[in-house]
Structure 1
Amino acid sequence: MKLFLRLVPFSFFFLLATGFGPANLAGDAVIALQPETLPFTPTGYYIESVQDKRQQREAFASLIIRPDKPTVPVDLDGGTGPAIYKYISRSLKQNRSLRPIVLRITVGNLTETAGPKGMINGRLNLSLAFDVKREDEQLSLVTYQGNARYQRPPGQTQVIEKVIRQSVNEGLRFLNNFINKESDNVPVLASKISVTFNNITTRTPASSDTVFYDPARPLTWDDFRAIPPTTSRYAAQIMPGVAYEGHSDVEKGSIDVKLKLKVFMLKSQSWVKAIGHNDYALNHEQRHFDIARLAMEDFRKRVNPDSLSLNDYNSNIQYQYIEMYRALSLRQQQYDDETAHGINQGVQARWNNRLDSELRTFGLK
């Protein structure tokens, strides 16, 4: 399942009036984000950490401190990642019993340029990626992009901190709204998993090459359509197969995996010689089909919520299928070896009883 990703642009414009007093950004200045109480409280998450993932880890801002001088690099107080995490920790209520979210800063820079009539133009680019921490993995959830512009007179720098702070706030607001709206429908936010099985027993037309396993429809010799190889010393051969297909839905915070289980035989690859055209030989081939059906019951038991990871349930299911298929191949070989391909009637009878007992356990007999 693909992870859910959404990109929402946001922009705003500030015009700083000349009545604001100057802020001290001279010398070894830094931009200190001032904490504030945000007007929303997370109910399903908290910000566990902030990671600075910008391609260039340079100072966050390039500012015009003096109009007659080049721009100078000015960083957030403590560095970009730590400064934004400190601001969030002091401004947003954090309940660490909730779902952990990692904030990645992928783009973050503020650049000032000289504007008309001695004014200074500023432009902020800020891109935030929010990831879910689940089962010790970091899964991409949603991204936010904020762009802001402002204009200020020389010496008045309060707007710089305000623009950065408000852009971070909008990113947090976007995350909060997204989780409140989508938490029940997004796979990476799911906290539970369930599995629903459906056995395919479709009665195929006589013209079809596929016969699906159906307890109410045993095999007949008419299902064996291939031409017997002249070099084989055996009287008959069935070609059974096992497969599954599925998809998953997310509802109310739970991933529901729906699997269709298929046990079938192919007429075009199954054959019988005239010498083997009897009920005893047909029973032997039917038991190969039964063994395949029982293997799928084992697969069904293997695939349960306790065996599946929320993050990688597809791989878990594939692994259990491979394990089932390996065991099925070994049991089919064991069946033929012990019965001598049906020649040993006493052993064949014991296998018949054993398989009938197992089939009854699953309501298949």
Structure 2
Amino acid sequence: MLAFLFTFFFSLQRLLTAAPEKPLVLQAAPLPVANPLFSVGAVRDERPGRPAVAWLLTPTSAMVQPVELQGGTEAALRQFAARSLPAASARYRVTVRVLECRVQEVAAANRQAAGQLTVRLAFDWQNPEGRTHTLTEYRSGARYQRPLTDRTAVEAALQQNLQGALRYLQQWLTKAVKQDARLATAVRPTFSYDIHQTEQDTVFYDPNRPLTWADFTGSPRSKGKYAAAVYSSFAYQGWPRLNNGVIDLNIRLKVFMVRSSSWVAPEQRTAYNLNHEQRHFDITRLIVERYRRKATPDSLTVDDFNSILGWQYLKSFTEMNHLQDQYDQETHGGTDAAAQQRWNRRIDAELAAALR
């Protein structure tokens, strides 16, 4: 009985102190793409408890043993990606999150092991403004059968499935970069002015089409210090379109005056007064040009370009009202000819610079 117990405890001690199984080695599997759209910047193992990747049968034991990837899961997958992808710089530097990666074996006939592999990865990307997007997930699996003495099938199954993950992400990005705004890396605004006279009650600003008194159709004010008044304002419309990872933003600017809100008093239809009102219209055009110059690619973020444009619009609208008031105050509503000449020169100079 004592001999039996001694043998049992000796065997148990050998089992508990047995050398751990050699780690699995991932060989590189080059992606057949000369210039991939992505590189792998980091790998995060998010499996609960971060267990060993594989639970394998060994030739000397009827029980499965934990077997890790060489260097650990994160390091092994990061190295696998680095060696499998070309060294060329890529547009998207992604983080791979390991949600599931497990090989589980059971005994099969003729001293064989039957294994099942399950892989689930998530791919994250941080855009230029620092916002992280989960782009897509990859799920795959495989079954195999191997001799207990040969682990080649295990390493091959892992290699093929992880190569499949890299190939999947490249294919996904190739399609998504044309339509998924999350992948935008920059905003490229272009501007155009609406000058077509298509509305009965609206005159759009056109340098080649100055105002005439016929454009002032509103009822004259019975009392007041002004000989005429022009109601001018501006608006914009934007059409974003994703083009190879860049948001092409076509912005249509509208500088206009409203005929029915603009008027001239009787006996005041002089060239001098019309010039004064034209200069109000010119000031509106100049403010819009300043607004356009503020909306640069550096000032517009891919996440919030609409809000930025809207905020700049409100600031420019306030600037317009302030400048219009200053113009009227300094020219005394156009009655100070010397001040009017100074403003004419100032406006002409800025218009010439804007329209070059």
Q: Give the structure-1-normalised TM-score.
A: 0.69
Counterpart Cα distance in 2 of 1:53 and 1:198: 50
The answer to whether residue 162 in structure 2 is matched with residue 171 in structure 1 is no
The answer to whether residue 210 in structure 2 is matched with residue 218 in structure 1 is yes
Counterpart Cα distance in 2 of 1:236 and 1:30: 92
Tell me which residue corresponds to 1:328.
320
Given candidates 332, 342, 345, the residue that maps to 1:353 is 345
Counterpart Cα distance in 1 of 2:349 and 2:121: 63
Alignment of 1:26-105 (within 5 A): 32-38=24-30, 40=32, 42-44=34-36, 47-52=39-44, 54=46, 56=48, 58-59=50-51, 61=53, 63=55, 65=57, 76-95=69-88, 97-99=89-91, 101-105=93-97
- Residue 250 to residue 271, structure 1, CA distance change in 2 (3 Å): closer
Counterpart Cα distance in 2 of 1:226 and 1:55: 73
**Larger deviation: 49-58 or 162-171?**
49-58
Q: Secondary structure at the match of 1:59?
A: coil
Unmatched runs of 5 consecutive residues or more in structure 2: 1-17
Given candidates 117, 135, 147, the residue that maps to 2:140 is 147
Given candidates 244, 254, 263, the residue that maps to 1:262 is 254
**Larger deviation: 291-300 or 306-315?**
306-315
**Larger deviation: 238-247 or 276-285?**
276-285
Tell me which residue corresponds to 1:239.
231
Tell me which residue corresponds to 2:330.
338
- Residue 328 to residue 360, structure 1, CA distance change in 2 (3 Å): same
Deviation of 1:263 (Å): 0.5
Unmatched runs of 5 consecutive residues or more in structure 1: 1-25
Deviation of 1:201 (Å): 0.4
Counterpart Cα distance in 2 of 1:137 and 1:360: 40
CA contact (8 A) 1:239 1:266 kept: yes
CA contact (8 A) 1:199 1:262 kept: yes
Q: For residues 124-160 of structure 1, what are the alpha-carbon distances to aligned partners after superposition, in whole Å with 9 as ceiling and x for unaligned?
A: 13233253x6647466595352311315479576544
- Residue 238 to residue 39, structure 1, CA distance change in 2 (3 Å): closer
Tell me which residue corresponds to 1:17.
none
- Residue 262 to residue 84, structure 1, CA distance change in 2 (3 Å): same
- Partner amino acid for 1:32? L
Counterpart Cα distance in 2 of 1:27 and 1:337: 93
Counterpart Cα distance in 2 of 1:227 and 1:155: 99
The answer to whether residue 119 in structure 2 is matched with residue 128 in structure 1 is no
**Larger deviation: 149-158 or 181-190?**
181-190
CA contact (8 A) 2:117 2:157 kept: no
Deviation of 1:249 (Å): 4.5
The answer to whether residue 263 in structure 2 is matched with residue 272 in structure 1 is yes
Q: For residues 52-104 of structure 1, what are the alpha-carbon distances to aligned partners after superposition, in whole Å with 9 as ceiling and x for unaligned?
A: 274746326474759987x8876544443322102222444424x45452232
Deviation of 1:290 (Å): 0.7
Counterpart Cα distance in 1 of 2:100 and 2:94: 16
Q: Secondary structure at the match of 2:96?
A: strand
- Residue 49 to residue 202, structure 1, CA distance change in 2 (3 Å): same
CA contact (8 A) 1:194 1:255 kept: yes
CA contact (8 A) 1:59 1:74 kept: no
Q: Secondary structure at the match of 1:122?
A: strand
CA RMSD, 1 decimal: 4.4
CA contact (8 A) 1:61 1:109 kept: yes
Q: Percent of aligned positions with the same letter in both sequences?
A: 29
Q: Give the structure-2-normalised TM-score.
A: 0.70
Give the number of aligned pairs: 333
CA contact (8 A) 1:110 1:125 kept: yes
- Partner amino acid for 2:276? H
